[in-house]
Amino acid sequence: MQDTIKYVLDETRIPKFWYNIAADLPVPPPPVLHPGTLQPVTAADLAALFPAELIAQEASTEREIEIPEPIRDVYRQWRPSPLYRARRLEQMLGTPARIYYKYEGVSPAGSHKPNTAVAQAFYNKQAGIKRLATETGAGQWGSSLAFAGAVFGLEVRVFMVRVSYEQKPYRRALMEAYGARCVASPSDETASGRAVLASNARHPGSLGIAISEAVELAVQREDTKYALGSVLNHVLLHQTVVGKEALAQLMMADDYPDVIVACTGGGSNFAGIAFPFIGAQLRGGRKVRVVAVEPAACPSLTRGKYAYDFGDTGRLTPLTKMHTLGSSFTPPGFHAGGLRYHGMAPLVSHLKELGLIEAIACSQLECFEAGLRFARAEGIVPAPEANHAVRGAIKEALRCKIEGKAETILFNLCGHGHFDMQAYIDHLGGKLTDQSYDEAELAMALAGLPAVSA
């Protein structure tokens, strides 16, 4: 008993290990393929982009991977993040369910993303790297990496999708406040950017183009590497501090989730909160339902195809098997910028195929309605992305009400919405609409998937 309490307290402070679900999977996920040879990628293929330690984590099947002390030191500033019981929301909904949420908005950048940004910056610094290049859409990832770069003394170059660069000056200002250089993409600083500008000098940019620019910069110089904020195995791994803390915190409350809910863009905050619980289940522990909530306007898990595809529009990245809408698919411009990605993390996709997780798609309006309900009950204004998780949790709580079940619901409130108030202004002003994607464009993007024989 004494040992259990000590374990709980230690782990509640800051986990000492990340949890790697690859160790517990009943079937290993399909290999990542080199786009030229269609053979499984090797560590050498990835060496131009990432430091050796992160490449090793990408392929590791070790269950527990130690978190280096300098990373735990930075985590200590805001970790463990609080786990709250949403009592006023429960009351407002009249549900017998207990609703808990893990609040990742307490990090310096305001979301879960610094959990991996700090780790990636640390391993790059350790490998002697001087500069990191990355892309950002709405700016959450760019500002998280800018913060991590400032902590470890790395230069950070962020290619920000031009429309967002112009529409979201505050995220850009945050990156610059942390000392990063933020460039509107397409830019004239790379060959891929110049090529796009040559065809259209006023091109609005896209995440796919920004990735190509950042990758180009990383490949060009020995002292520069690339960093990605979601999708990859090592990114999901770093996010498991969220679920490990939640497990320990719920233990202190003498509770355990029946349902876990999180939003999915590339899948990292979802994996972060859910994988430790799915792992416990796979090792013979309690069964838990896990629900991914994605935007109806970019529904990779519910409407995409499980197939090999590129991670970027420029078709430069390795091929991964995932739920994808096609790398040429451009979702409509809804407000949850962090969820506008054509694919899904290969590990999350694999779990979906194995029937270990469920997925639902929710529209923009119902998510903002849920976010306002949450703000009025709990006082925290969620990021537009996080509104999807709130919507999913409310749906589950209302189901419990109808069924008269006192289930335990845990969801990831992955970020606050303080930099997204324009979206709330639009919503409160009645200007938000439900946008749907173009079916013909989706069909075309899916028809254009690379041919890879199973």
Which positions touch ligand PLP (CB under 6 A)?
111, 113, 140-141, 230, 263-270, 338-339, 383, 385-386, 414-415
CB of 322 to ligand PLP, least distance (A): 13
CB of 419 to ligand PLP, least distance (A): 10
Q: Which strands form 224-226's sheet, in the order they lie side by side? A: 181-185, 155-161, 131-136, 224-226
- SS3 label, residue 362: strand
CB of 141 to ligand PLP, least distance (A): 6
CB of 402 to ligand PLP, least distance (A): 29
Residue closer to ligand PLP by CB (options 140, 249) is 140
Cβ-Cβ contacts under 8 Å for 169 (sequence gap 6 or more): none
CB of 338 to ligand PLP, least distance (A): 3
Residue closer to ligand PLP by CB (options 98, 343) is 343
- SS3 label, residue 43: helix
Q: Compute the 3-state secondary structure of the chain and give helix, strand, coil in percent, each to the nearest 5.
A: 45, 15, 35
Query: Which helix (H) or strand (E) is 155 found in, with range?
Result: strand 155-161
Residue closer to ligand PLP by CB (options 111, 313) is 111
Residue closer to ligand PLP by CB (options 129, 329) is 329
Residue closer to ligand PLP by CB (options 339, 351) is 339
CB of 335 to ligand PLP, least distance (A): 12
Q: Are 120 and 148 in contact (CB under 8 A)?
A: yes
Report how far residue 284's alpha carbon sits from residue 265's, in angstroms, rounded to the nearest whole number. 29
CA separation, residue 332 to residues 338, 353, 424 (Å): 13, 27, 18
The C-alpha angle 355, 356, 360, rounded to 5 degrees, equals 80
Residue closer to ligand PLP by CB (options 266, 346) is 266
Residue closer to ligand PLP by CB (options 111, 206) is 111
Cβ-Cβ contacts under 8 Å for 443 (sequence gap 6 or more): none
254: alpha, beta or left? (left if phi > 0; alpha if psi -120 to 50): left
CB of 168 to ligand PLP, least distance (A): 12
Q: Which long-range contacts (CB under 8 A, 24 or more apart) does 309-312 make?
A: 309/342, 309/343, 309/449, 309/450, 310/35, 310/450, 311/211, 311/231, 311/343, 312/207, 312/208, 312/211, 312/212, 312/215
Residue closer to ligand PLP by CB (options 138, 196) is 138
CB of 445 to ligand PLP, least distance (A): 20
